[in-house]
Amino acid sequence: MTVFNQLLSNELPVQPMMPGSVSSSVTCCPFFPRVVLLQVMLLGDSAVGKTCVLVRFKDGAFLGGNFIATVGIDFRNKVVDVDNLKVKLQIWDTAGQERFRSVTHAYYRDAQALLLLYDITNKPSFDNIRAWLTEIHEYAQRDVVIMLLGNKSDMAAERVVKMEDGEKLAKEYGVPFMETSAKTGGNVELAFLAIAKELKHRATQQPNEPKFKIHDYIESQKQKSGCCSLG
C-alpha cells in the first residue's frame, strides 16, 4: 500500500527505500511495538554544547562543571514515542575539533537529520555556521532534515548573537531554528521531537494526509527562551 506498510512487512534491519525518499528503516520485534530507526547527528564547533544537549535530551541531566571534549564521534540510542509509534533515535554526537572532521564526514550520509548548533555567547561559532552548511551540502543526503540551534540561551548576560540573527540565517537557508538551553532544558526535547515527527511523517505519510509542517509545529510549541531577560 504505502511505503511505510511495505517497510513494516520487511524484517531487514536496514532497508534503503526508493531513491529520493528518506532511508529510514523499520525492524519488527515480536515483543515490542514496531520501531522506526532514525539517525540524527549533532554538529557544530567545539564547546557549543552538543554533548550537553544530548545528555539533557537522553538523561534529563545537565553536565555541569568541566568541559569534556568528545573524542571522535559518540553513538547513543534513545527511543521516543511519536504519535503512538516507537521511534528509535540513533544519535551521533560528534567532536567539534577540526582533526576529527574526516571521521564525521564518513558518517554524514547515514544521517537523516542534522542538529547544527552554535553558542549564543560565542560569535565565531555562529559565523562558522555557513561553513558548516556548505559542508553539509557536500556530504549529507540531499533531503536531510537540518535544524539550527542557538544553544546556551540561559546565559543571557553573555549573549553576543541576537536571536533575530539566528532566525535570519535560518530563514536564508530555509531551515527551522530555535534557541535551546541544555542547562534549563529549554526547547531541547522539542528539537529532537520535531525532527522525529518530521521524519516519521515522511516515512509514513498517507497520500491524502496533510503534510507535516515542521516550521509551524515548532512555532506552536517552542518556549520563547529567556523571554524574561530578553524583554
Partner 1 sequence: MDGETATGTESWEDCMLAPVDRLRLERADSPTPGLVEGTEPGAGQRSAMFVQAQSFEDLTSEAEEEAQRSAAEENPEGPDEGEYKVQNHDFSSDSRTKEEDVSSEAWRSHKKHVFVLSEAGKPIYTRYGTEEALSSTMGVMMALVSFVEAEKNIIRSIHADGCKVVFLTKSPLVLVGVSRTSQSDKELLRELQYIYYQIVSLLTLTQLNHIFQNKQNYDLRRLLAGSEYLTDNLLHRLERDPGLLLSAVTCLPLASCSRDAVSSSLQAAKAKNLVFSILLAGDRLVTLIRKKDQFLHHIDLHLVLNLVGSSSSFREGEGWTPICLPKFNTSGFFHAHISYLEPASELCLILVSTDREDFFNMSDCKQRFLERLSKRCAYQSLKEALKCPTYPVSQVGIPDLRHFLYKSKSSGLYTSPEFPDVYRSGQEQERLMGLYQDLHSCLHHPTRPLRSFYRCGETENLLAWVTSGFELYLCFSPLASKASAVAAVNKLLKWIRKEEDRLFILSPLTY
Mutual orientation of helices 129-139 and 163-173 as an angle, nearest 10°? 30
Find out whether 161 and 151 touch, Cβ atoms under 8 Å. no
Instruction: Count other Cβ atoms within 10 Å, centred on residue 108.
Output: 19
- Among the listed residues 17, 28, 73, 155, the single contact to partner 1 using CB under 8 A: 73
Whole-angstrom distance, CA of residue 183 vs CA of residue 190: 15
- Out of 12, 103, 131, 160, the only residue in the binding site for partner 1 (CB under 8 A) is 103
By CB under 8 A, residue 95 contacts partner 1 = yes
In this chain, which stretch among 16-24, 64-72, 121-129, 181-189 interacts with partner 1, using CB under 8 A? Answer: 64-72
- When the beta carbons of 51 and 153 are compared against partner 1, the nearer one is 51
Among 107, 173, 212, 217, binds partner 1 (CB under 8 A): 107
Q: Applying CB under 8 A, does 88 fall inside the site for partner 1?
A: no
For position 12 contacting partner 1 by CB under 8 A, the verdict is no
Part of the chain binding partner 1 (CB under 8 A), chosen from 17-25, 29-37, 91-99, 192-200: 91-99
**Residue 69 in contact with partner 1, rule: CB under 8 A:** yes
> Strand 35-44 to strand 25-27: parallel, antiparallel, or no bridges (unpaired)?
antiparallel
- Asked whether position 100 contacts partner 1 by CB under 8 A, the answer is yes
Contact with partner 1 (CB under 8 A) among 15, 70, 141, 205: 70
Residue partners of 104: CB distance under 8 A and separation at least 6? 43, 73, 94, 95
Give dist(CA 4, CA 81) in Å, integer: 17
Contact criterion met (CB below 8 Å) for 225 and 151: no
C-alpha cell at 109: 550520509
Determine which residue in the list 33, 60, 72, 124 makes contact with partner 1, applying CB under 8 A: 72
Which chain residues interact with partner 1 by CB under 8 A?
46, 51, 55, 58, 68-76, 93, 95-100, 102-103, 106-107
